[in-house]
Amino acid sequence: MILGLETSCDETAAALVTGDGRILSNVVSSQADLHARYGGVVPEVASRRHLELVTPVIREALGEAGAELGDVDTVGVTTGPGLIGALLVGLAAAKAIAWARRLPLVPVDHLHGHVASLYLEPAAERPVRDSGPGEGVRGNREVPPRLPLEPPFLCLLASGGHTLLLDVQEPGSQRVLGSTLDDAAGEAFDKGARLLGLGYPGGAELDRLARDGDAEAYSFPVARVPGLDFSFSGLKTALLYAVRDLPAEELEQRRADLAASYQRAIVRALVERTMQAAESIGAERTAVVGGVAANSELRSSLPEAALAPLALCTDNAAMIASAARFAEPIPYPGYLALDAYASTA
Ligand code: KG4
Ligand code: ZN
């Protein structure tokens, strides 16, 4: 079985996954509360917390799977992109475990990890989102492709750090068709949530608040940039002005409408571009992964897409172990000098 480790941002995560993609355990310890008071992740605080949590989280993952370290035959770990200090904690832990047991180690790219969340056996039936057909939902509902998914497919990866359209021809390799020119979709959600007085990270809270609002109340523009790229920074400014123009008492009454309209604009941009990209490469199947894939409106707006299960949308280690199945392992002890990387660019 594969031990997966993920510490690229503010989640300390460990998971055990079998070679054929069954999840035996998937433990995620989020540091969100720790960073909330700063309104964002503080890198040095994150690294120190990873250091405290990494061993107990691995122990818990082994316990939940009813396994011991002796049962692990490969260690997969995120080596980038992400916060460099945070990544180094997971990598050092992975090296120590692999080296002590003479196991191979697989360096995993975090973005490949998100895509590989689609290659896992779903734990249970995928939850059915019943938010009703909003605008943008296509009428003829086909049965979405079942998981695990097999390439080729077009993948929208939308998270707090990235917004990418990927042409996935085989597991472990992907071609970037488009990306964001400024903020990531998750970042747009988080910044909008902050303007509406919600906590950090606010994507999920904004999603909840939007359910009580009218998505047509405000018309927020989304920049149309050439090609298959995205731009979300103007949208955030539009929300800022809308909030600023409202007297305090009225703002309270309009918060749900603002949230719903803002979410609608982000989801529209994501859906439009995804369909355009699918058409441009003649993709027959479309998939959505990453933290923003948990968004209820996005999920119901792409009923024919394969959606990462909710538990695997935000950062976790099961997806890292899954990706490790398709990447090149480094045999013992060749990985001792392996380094982490903050960004691919
Ligand atoms: O994939 P992820 O855990 O971390 C990165 O790799 O960045 O994504 C986290 C992002 C955050 O921006 C969070 O606000 C957003 O995903 N998110 C959501 C929802 N749940 C999480 N955004 C919109 N709606 C949600 N339900
Ligand atoms: Zn992520």
Whether 163 is in the pocket of ligand 1, judged by its Cβ within 6 Å, is no
Name the DSSP letter for residue 21: S
Q: Which CATH number fits domain 2-146+311-324: 3.30.420.40, 3.40.50.10860, 2.30.33.40, 3.50.50.60?
A: 3.30.420.40
**Residue 227 and residue 261 in contact, taking contact as beta carbons nearer than 8 Å:** no
Greatest pairwise CA separation for the chain in angstroms: 65
| Ligand showing the shortest atom-to-Cα distance for residue 201 | 1
Domain locations in the chain? 2-146+311-324, 153-307
What pLDDT is recorded for position 147?
Answer: 87
What pLDDT is recorded for position 122?
Answer: 76
Q: Ligand 2 mean position to 29 CA, how many Å?
A: 14
CA atoms of 181 and 245, how far apart (whole Å) = 28
Residues of the chain whose pLDDT is less than 70? 123-144, 345
Q: Tell me the two tokens of residue 270.
A: 């994501």
Describe the chain by its helix, strand, coil percentages, rounded to 5: 40, 20, 40
Are 2-146+311-324 and 153-307 in the same CATH fold?
yes
Which ligand 1 atom sits nearest the alpha carbon of residue 208?
Answer: 26
By most ligand atoms within 8 Å of CB, the mutation choice from 200, 292, 319 for ligand 1 is: 292
Whether 342 is in the pocket of ligand 1, judged by its Cβ within 6 Å, is no
Whether 204 is in the pocket of ligand 1, judged by its Cβ within 6 Å, is yes
**What's the pTM value of the predicted model, to 2 decimals?**
0.92
What pLDDT is recorded for position 223?
Answer: 84
What pLDDT is recorded for position 134?
Answer: 36
Q: Bridge partners of 285?
A: none
Q: Which CATH class is domain 153-307?
A: alpha beta
Whether 161 is in the pocket of ligand 1, judged by its Cβ within 6 Å, is yes
**Which of these, 207, 228, 80, 227, lies nearest to 156 by C-alpha position?**
228
Q: Give the phi and the psi of residue 9 in degrees, each rounded to 5.
A: -135, -110
- Which amino acid, residue 145? P
Whether 189 is in the pocket of ligand 1, judged by its Cβ within 6 Å, is yes
Pairing, β 74-80 against β 2-6: parallel
